[in-house]
Amino acid sequence: MSNKSKLSTESYKGVRDFYPEDMAIQNYIFEVWRKTAKSFGYVEYGASILEPAELYRTKSSEEIVNDQMFTFKDRGDREVALRPEMTPTLARMIAGKRKSIKFPLRWFSMPNLFRYEKPQRGRKREHWQLNCDVLGIVGIEAEVEILSLACSIMKAFGAKDKDFEIRVNDRGLFEEVFERVGGVSKSTKEMVIRLLDKQEKIDNFNEEMIRHLGHEKKELFLELLEKTKSTKRLDEIKGILISKGISNVVIDTKIARGFDYYTGMVFEVFDAHKDNNRSLFGGGRYDNLLEIFGVEPVPAVGFGMGDVTIRDFLETHNLQTCEK
């Protein structure tokens, strides 16, 4: 064959090949995820990587839907997506058997996810993700359980309290601030929260905030947000976690999470190391997601933890990456 006709040995941009030594590390991550989730009483479920694209258009992040979804038309002229996240799939599955399922549920999965992102440290176009969700519990014990599980997984990888920080916030806090600002539409609220979520990643944050809120409301919103340090529910959650020995939890009103389906507590786990000082994973409460399927909603709290950021964390902190 001529040089021009030779196929490249490179994988598709943004995905990874797993040679045996890489597969050993990947399997170790999966084993820690599975073992820890099961120790909390969670049971495993799964689903296809193919979903109708419309599943994500109502409640997912606008950035994911407009810029990051891999979509195509099948032979029946249906728009299909390679799933970019797992929570809408979980909601679809629960809604499908809503009347026959007994709550509360504790489910976990380790799906393969796809997003058309710019490949960089901590981000690929394909990754695996541990998803843990507890459904059917209204009280703060659900938040406490999910945050405790997230912390336990980090500890199972060998992390110490000083290695990571759990930052929590409450979407209700944003609603209180919007009420005090006054005259903010639902769609504008959603856009402002998305901007807050990616504040550190964009250069024109202030300009975009002014575009959606106007100068005066933007200034008032940020001022009130800075002054609002917590909520009663957040204080209760933090207090219970501290009583359980989880001391590396802080209330951070800048945490927003970009998905539109969050309705209450949201959180992100951050690497404390100066060489990898970034968000590792996160989640929160989403009580209304089942409404898009026309069924009675179910209270839910969950999180998604990606394999790429966890592997970076293990390498940064010189933690073992396979079982001895």
Residues tagged in the binding site annotation for L-histidine? 85-87, 115, 129, 133, 257, 261-262
Burial zone of 288 (CB within 10 Å; 0-12 exposed, 13-18 middle, 19+ buried): middle
Q: What per-residue string of b and e applies to 257-271 under the rule 16 or more CB within 10 Å gives b?
A: bbbbbbbbbbbbbbb
| CA 164 centroid distance within chain | 17
Cα-based distances in Å from 102 to 12, 98, 141, 283? 43, 9, 18, 23
Both tokens assigned to 95? 């809604």
Cα-based distances in Å from 85 to 32, 55, 110, 122, 136? 21, 11, 11, 16, 21
Residue 194 parent element (H or E): helix 186-197
In sequence order, what are the beta bridge partners of 302? 133, 284
Closest to 257 in 3D by CA, of 194, 184, 185, 320: 194
In sequence order, what are the beta bridge partners of 166? 249, 269
Query: Residues marked as binding?
Result: 85-87, 115, 129, 133, 257, 261-262
